[in-house]
Amino acid sequence: MPTADLFTAFAVAAARQPGAIAVVDPDRGSVTFGELEALATRIHGLLALRGVRPGDRVAIHVQKSIEGIAAILGVLRAGAVYIPVDPHGPVPRNAFIMHDCGVALAIVERTLQPLLAPELATIGADIPLELVELGRDGGGVSNMPGRDGPAPAPVARGADDLAYVLYTSGSTGRPKGVMLTHGNALSFVGWCAGVFAPTPADRFSSHAPFHFDLSILDLFLPLTRGSTLVLVSHEVGKDPARIAELVAAHALTVWYSAPSILTLLAAHGAPAPLAFPSLRLVLFAGEVFPVKHLRALQRRLPHPRYFNLYGPTETNVCTYHEIPPDIPEERTDPYPIGRTCENLMARVVAPDLGDTARGEEGELLISGPNVMVGYWGLEEQSARAFVSGPDGRRWYRTGDLVVEAPDGTFTFRGRRDRMVKKRGYRVELGEVEACVLTHPAVAEAAVVASATEDGVRITAVIASRDGGRISLIALKRHCAERVPLYMVPDQFLFVPALPRTSTDKTDYQRIQEMA
């Protein structure tokens, strides 16, 4: 019988090779599979002591670290659901997320507590906090909250039980929680194992923070297959020169991130040609990789295989495409998002939800074991996210417009709504608009996105109350206190009044032209 929950899948790998290195934190040390399991057991002991029960939600508000991974595994061992909350995110948003999904307890890095605790009090969220100190010795037991003594037995979970909830940008101005089960994650990880064939000799980068869906592959593929995970810190992860040092120094074999950081690596990574002899796979996901930059990277680093992975948080990865070696000089179109993953099914439908003929543009629908349960506490939005097919199956509406080629390969054409991807993150332009509108000097605002050579640029077009300019610094600071940095507009334009259509709606087409 296949393993039904994530912790058991990890424990099976840990039992096979307890002495192998599971996680390396380049600045702070490493832990073996056996040590990591022991840390998770301590966390479980603590959660049991605090009354956390199977199915309860537990927030993980810790930067990427051995301690954070142990906490996630401890929560899963207890049969609880982990809620990763961005340690660099705006405090009100973080507090909202914890309150929204009713966490029973939050595991919080000590330095984050002074701002978080009063915010939780302000919104009336009575959430006990367990503090983690990230000391110099990564994963040292002394840093960890936990409980020694007889450990409770791991709580087995079924494929349909929730494993984690990932919050993404919501169009109405509040983030929404995507609920994913053990079965969703294991199906995805199993598919990855089939295609990328990880072995205990592999060393994976872990670039994505815990709250970003790319982290599911980073964490659970190596940890369930006995490979090593090498953490890329928040600071290193933004700096191509330091990334190049890290890939070389730790002989990484698999890199996975959004294209934006790979673009920087191609352009600014190192003065000498990049030479990472160990690197065998470069995986990217989250947004379109401009071909010019992908080609530059491939020329500097020709030997790994390159894969474009596509999928919203709601489905995990659902299509994939291997980039051919030697991208031709004349190619300017981005590569396709590829063919359907072998464990899923895809359809392309017209606006009336009827199937399109092959080759016609339509919305991509996905069905299969990777697909989420729904959005936490949002029944109506959850219902709208799915349609039932003629076959009686539940199909998730990705909102992405695609065209299917005769060989079954999908090409991304755009969105049917106002969501964009920036640095791999989803941004609902409506949420950015709602944020800009809370500035007291703003009377009207419309937010649009445009593609540039360096990626997506978000522009806010604003009519102020007194008709004049508003300080850019004031606007940026206002937004940065309320939404994650990748959602803060890059550009602000000021107009006396927003352009209107003949039916008196905001004229987004003209606003798009202004941007």
Partner 1 sequence: MEDTQRIVKDFILAQFLPGEDPAALEPTTPLVTSAILDSLATMRLVSFLEERFGIQVEAHEASVDNLNTLDLITALVRSKR
Residues forming contacts to partner 1 in the complex (CB under 8 A) are 235, 238-239, 241-242, 245, 264, 268, 454, 469, 471-474, 476-477, 479-481, 485, 488, 490
Nearer to partner 1, 48 or 241 (CB): 241
For every residue of 470-503, DSSP letters joined together read --HHHHHHHHHTTS-GGGS-SEEEE-SS--B-TT
Q: List Cβ neighbours of 179 (8 Å cut-off, separation of 6 or more).
A: 162, 165, 372, 373, 374, 375, 376
Nearer to partner 1, 46 or 427 (CB): 427
Q: Terminus-to-terminus CA distance in the chain, angstroms?
A: 56
Nearer to partner 1, 23 or 456 (CB): 456
Check if the beta carbon of residue 145 is closer than 8 Å to that of residue 130: yes
The β-bridge partners of 31 are: 23
Check if the beta carbon of residue 448 is closer than 8 Å to that of residue 508: yes
Nearer to partner 1, 151 or 485 (CB): 485
Q: What SS3 class is residue 180?
A: strand
Minimum CB–partner distance for residue 161 and partner 1 (Å): 38
Minimum CB–partner distance for residue 198 and partner 1 (Å): 29
Handedness of CA 480, 485, 490, 496 (dihedral sign): negative
The torsion region of residue 124 among left (phi > 0), alpha (psi -120 to 50) and beta comes to left
Nearer to partner 1, 309 or 479 (CB): 479
Minimum CB–partner distance for residue 121 and partner 1 (Å): 23
* Residue whose C-alpha is closest to residue 432's, from 456, 460, 457: 460
Minimum CB–partner distance for residue 451 and partner 1 (Å): 15
Nearer to partner 1, 268 or 299 (CB): 268
- The structure tokens listed for 206 are 């872990």
Nearer to partner 1, 8 or 65 (CB): 65
Nearer to partner 1, 90 or 198 (CB): 90
Minimum CB–partner distance for residue 89 and partner 1 (Å): 11
Question: How far apart are alpha carbons 118 and 98 in whole angstroms?
Answer: 14
Question: How far apart are alpha carbons 499 and 47 in whole angstroms?
Answer: 55
Check if the beta carbon of residue 320 is closer than 8 Å to that of residue 339: yes
Q: What SS3 class is residue 329?
A: coil
Question: How far apart are alpha carbons 39 and 18 in whole angstroms?
Answer: 13
Minimum CB–partner distance for residue 119 and partner 1 (Å): 17
Nearer to partner 1, 26 or 29 (CB): 26
Nearer to partner 1, 216 or 479 (CB): 479
Minimum CB–partner distance for residue 490 and partner 1 (Å): 8
What is the C-alpha radius of gyration for the chain, rounded to an integer number of angstroms?
23
* Residue whose C-alpha is closest to residue 103's, from 134, 153, 61, 42: 61
**Inter-CA distances, 127 with 42, 137, 146, Å:** 21, 29, 18
Minimum CB–partner distance for residue 493 and partner 1 (Å): 10
For the chain, give the longest Cα–Cα distance: 72
Minimum CB–partner distance for residue 181 and partner 1 (Å): 35
SS3 of 22-50: EEEECCCEEEEHHHHHHHHHHHHHHHHHC
Minimum CB–partner distance for residue 478 and partner 1 (Å): 9
The torsion region of residue 259 among left (phi > 0), alpha (psi -120 to 50) and beta comes to alpha
Question: How far apart are alpha carbons 102 and 377 in whole angstroms?
Answer: 10
Residues in the chain: 515
Nearer to partner 1, 350 or 451 (CB): 451
Minimum CB–partner distance for residue 363 and partner 1 (Å): 32
Nearer to partner 1, 245 or 507 (CB): 245
* Residue whose C-alpha is closest to residue 60's, from 25, 109, 23: 109
Minimum CB–partner distance for residue 261 and partner 1 (Å): 8
Minimum CB–partner distance for residue 242 and partner 1 (Å): 5
Nearer to partner 1, 115 or 141 (CB): 115
